[in-house]
Amino acid sequence: MLETTDNSSHESTTRAPLKRFLPLLIMLAGLAGGYALGLHEYLSLEFLSGSREVLRGVVAENPFIAPLGFAVLYAMAVAFSFPAASILTLFAGFLFGWFLGGVLVAVAATVGASAVFLAARGALSGVLANKISERVSRMAKGFEEDAFNYLLVLRLAPIFPFWVVNIAPALFNVPLRIYASATFLGILPGTFAYAYLGHGLDSVLVSAAEAGREVTLGDLVTPQLTLAFGALALVAVVPVAIKKLRRKPGS
């Protein structure tokens, strides 16, 4: 009887880590499967240039299903950590206009990022507390105390890849509501900026086709746009700096 109980306990302990890591493994498998199927080849300005009339025709024929389908596709791309957020946001602006495209992307990106966050939190919970040093632990505490502003800064200024920022907060016990709200608000300026670029992309694609060359993001992202993102990040940093300055020494 005791042996049976021990075996059941061992099997339960073995299944627990598998259950924790399963969502993360599914996402990694989805990413690998996407690349194996060559889906990344469709996430390019070259594909958009060659298929723009067909895609616009599909959107015109399916005014309700097309936006919903695009939002689902975008959320899945983010959830599987496909490195194509900027390109897909341009697609959104090009196909649906800067406003509707921006709204679709903001909602879908937040949903996809939240799925990554939940999967990472389930798999990595407890890892940080056992592995990090005391100094990093203090940094983690500061992140937890002011998670909203930290996340807002990271979202406003895309210093790190989008998927990195999706996963990192899972190590610091950030509540989902704070993660989702900071993500949604933080990506709005960049989302609408790229959707606006996509809205005016047609003339750029035509000019590039006539010149016999491919369009790159470098043709669209101007120094002014980069400076604007930097300014937004500085504005977001101000509340964090003020809060730290107001803290009493030793508190």
- Given this model, what pLDDT does residue 100 score? 96
Contact present, 216 and 45 (Cβ < 8 Å):
yes
Helix axes 176-199, 223-246, angle to 10 degrees: 160
- Given this model, what pLDDT does residue 8 score? 47
CA torsion through residues 181, 171, 18, 13, sign: negative
Look at the block and give the residue holding tokens 């505490």: 141
95 belongs to a structural domain = yes
Q: Can you give the residue range of the structural domain that contains 224?
A: 20-246
- Given this model, what pLDDT does residue 200 score? 79
- Given this model, what pLDDT does residue 54 score? 93
75 belongs to a structural domain = yes
68 belongs to a structural domain = yes
3 belongs to a structural domain = no
Domain count, the chain: 1
- Overall residue count recorded for the chain in this entry: 251
Q: What is the mean pLDDT of each run of 10 residues along the chain (251 residues)?
A: 48 55 75 78 80 92 95 92 84 93 96 90 61 48 71 76 79 86 90 85 70 64 60 60 57 48
6 belongs to a structural domain = no
Query: Global pTM?
Result: 0.74
- Given this model, what pLDDT does residue 131 score? 52
Which residue type is seen at 188? L
Q: C-alpha distances in angstroms, 149 versus 96, 108, 187, 192? A: 31, 22, 13, 20
Helix axes 85-96, 176-199, angle to 10 degrees: 60
13 belongs to a structural domain = no
9 belongs to a structural domain = no
CA distance 119 to 116: 5
193 belongs to a structural domain = yes
